[in-house]
Structure 1
Amino acid sequence: MGTLESTTAQPPARSTVPGVDTRRRTVGRIALGSVLVFAGITHLTVSRQEFQAQVPTWVPLDADAVVLASGIVEITLGTALVVVRRRRRAIVGGLAAAFFVAIFPGNISQLVTHTDAFGLDTDAARATRLIFQPLLVVWALWSTGAWRTWRHHRGGGRSA
């Protein structure tokens, strides 16, 4: 018979088939990491001007410097999503989610200023794109287990 500690330390299973949820998260995490690395590389190379069009005019920095810095951050986060060990994944997921929140004003600016970039040449297309940014946040939190870790610690930290 197990102790109370050993039964409460495990988060509840999300799937009836052992390992399926873990495999889905792994595939999701690697896919998101790959997308970020690819996007980061395009920031530094072929899509540099397109990304500059998304830097809000109120940002007091050179648009090219912002694009280069965000590209480096994307490559770093994407690589970390793929290679970081399990105990640090939730931290990386939280950082990736925070990054997606931080760049959201650029997407809003593109809509408000009616700036064409990446084939988004209508306000409807630019507005539709806004829907996907929160999905990236959720993807980062889910695929790394950050959401589950936060809930577990929040609930577990209050009871003694």
Structure 2
Amino acid sequence: MTDGRARRIARGALALFYAVAGVAHLLATDAMVRITPAWVPFPHAVVIATGLCELAGAAGLMTRRWRVAAGWSLALYAVCVFPANIKHAIHDLGSGTGLGLGYHGPRLLLQPLIVWWALWASGAIDWPLARRLAPRVRVP
């Protein structure tokens, strides 16, 4: 598989992931508000705004003009929502209701991968999959 094809697949999958998440934020707003940390002002409005941001990021990934900006934005977004993911895990695991460790463990551990995925799929970075342009020269 070529690098270009791999990125197109990764970009399409990521766009679908964020489109579904954006719709979920708009349709299940009250559930999302419950996992919003208490220090976030206007949680209902923030959840609506995050859903719209996810939809905009998904759309941006699919355009040449906005692809890299969308990648950086979605990477930053993944960092910003991490506290809500932690609160959600603490709530579910502490109460014994909701989703278990099989969901929350991978979700929390994979957050850095989601950040990288947004940057790589958008073309914002090549790391660590960049092809070497010139052969390495060994110094004796």
> Shared topology, TM-score over 0.5?
yes
Which residue in the other structure is 2:126 paired with?
148
Q: Would the aligned equivalents of 1:34 and 1:79 in 2 still touch at CA under 8 Å?
A: no
Which residue in the other structure is 2:53 paired with?
73
Please say if 1:138 is aligned against 2:116. Answer: yes
Amino acid at match of 2:8: T
Task: Write the distance in 2 (CA, Å) between the matches of 1:123 and 1:57.
Answer: 23
Amino acid at match of 2:32: F
User: Normalization by structure 2: what TM-score?
Assistant: 0.77
- Rg comparison, structure with higher value: 1
Structure 1 residue 55: deviation in Å? 0.6
Structure 1 residue 76: deviation in Å? 0.4
Please say if 1:41 is aligned against 2:19. Answer: no
Structure 1 residue 124: deviation in Å? 6.0
User: Normalization by structure 1: what TM-score?
Assistant: 0.68
Identity %: 36
Amino acid at match of 1:127: G
Which of 86, 90, 94 pairs up with 2:72?
Answer: 94
Task: Write the distance in 1 (CA, Å) between the matches of 2:16 and 2:103.
Answer: 24
Amino acid at match of 2:122: T
Change (3 A) 1:24 1:50: same
Uncovered stretches (5+) of structure 2, i.e. residues with no partner: 131-140
Which of 2, 8, 11 pairs up with 1:29?
Answer: 11
Q: Secondary structure at the match of 1:147?
A: coil
Structure 1 residue 123: deviation in Å? 5.1
Listed one character per residue, the Cα deviations across residues 54-110 of structure 1 (whole Å, up to 9, x for unaligned) are 21112122x22111110000000011111x21x642222111101111111111122
Change (3 A) 1:114 1:34: closer
